[in-house]
Amino acid sequence: MIEIRELKKTFESHSVLDGIDLNLNKGETLTVMGISGCGKTTLLKLVIGLLSADSGSIKVDGKEVTGLTEKEFNTTIRRRMTMVFQQGALWDSKTVGENIELALNIREGISEPERRDMVIESLERVSMEGTENMYPEELSGGMIKRAAIARAIAARPDYLLYDEPTTGLDPVLSRRISELIIKLDEELRTSSLVISHDISSIPHFSDRVAMMHGGKIVLTCEAGKIWDQEDEVFKDFLHGTLENV
């Protein structure tokens, strides 16, 4: 379980996160929605330790992780938590297989044959078998997303953070990625925190959704009930008329 309390982050004088309170329960998929620039990627980067918070608390399975040194963070949390970045963030000069192998460096004591098997298995799980020798520039947008997911699951994390996994894809591909997220959660028993503003696909892969606005979580509800909510901010978001504060 991840418990986030009163989390704050300011860039120069711009307050982006102004007291985020959010729980990710074990085994669930929680989607955080919010308009562009409201701080969603910043929240994920804080959770995975790529940025440090100004104040507040993040507990992973009861252990406080804010304030850990990079080394402490790497040895305790990072091997259990991976992130699928907004643009995929594959290394262009490396093949798909090499990209995935790099992600396995976080785990010690894996032999060469085991590494190769883990690369192949990860690619199979995202239906990309046989692509390990391809370079990112040879992949379509949907394949890049899947390769990025294969890299994120390679080290068998307990927690997966997805930043906009379906945004920018056509409806069919978006649906396929949503189904992939559900399948992986079931097969690998991960707990997933997903960032998305792709309303059409959110209910498919989420157990719960949370709405972020003005640096806070203004609402959480079951995914199937998003259209029943009376909250004004939430309604404006769903109708595409919400603006940053």
Ligand X SMILES: Nc1ncnc2c1ncn2[C@@H]1O[C@H](COP(=O)(O)OP(=O)(O)OP(=O)(O)O)[C@@H](O)[C@H]1O
When the beta carbons of 36 and 241 are compared against ligand X, the nearer one is 36
Q: Are 15 and 73 in contact (CB under 8 A)?
A: no
- Does residue 20 belong to the site contacting ligand X (CB under 6 A)? no
Q: How far is the CB of 119 from ligand X (least distance, A)?
A: 29
# residues near Mg ion by CB under 5 A: 1
Applying CB under 6 A, which part among 29-37, 59-67, 173-181, 202-210 lies near ligand X?
A: 29-37
Give residue 8's identity as a one-letter amino acid code.
K
Q: Buried b vs exposed e over 104-143: b needs ≥16 C-beta within 10 Å?
A: bebeeeeeeeebeebbbebbebbebeebbeebbeebeebb
Binds Mg ion by CB under 5 A, chosen from 41, 82, 174, 201 = 41
Q: Name the burial class of residue 227, with classes exposed (0-12), middle (13-18) and buried (19+) by CB atoms within 10 angstroms of its CB.
A: exposed
Tokens of 220: 């959480």
- Does residue 42 belong to the site contacting ligand X (CB under 6 A)? yes
- Does residue 36 belong to the site contacting ligand X (CB under 6 A)? yes
- Does residue 215 belong to the site contacting ligand X (CB under 6 A)? no
Binds ligand X by CB under 6 A, chosen from 29, 31, 41, 178 = 41
39, 224, 1, 9: CA torsion to nearest 10: 10
Q: How far is the CB of 121 from Mg ion (least distance, A)?
A: 30
Which residues contact ligand X (rule: CB under 6 A)? Answer: 11, 16, 34, 36-42, 86
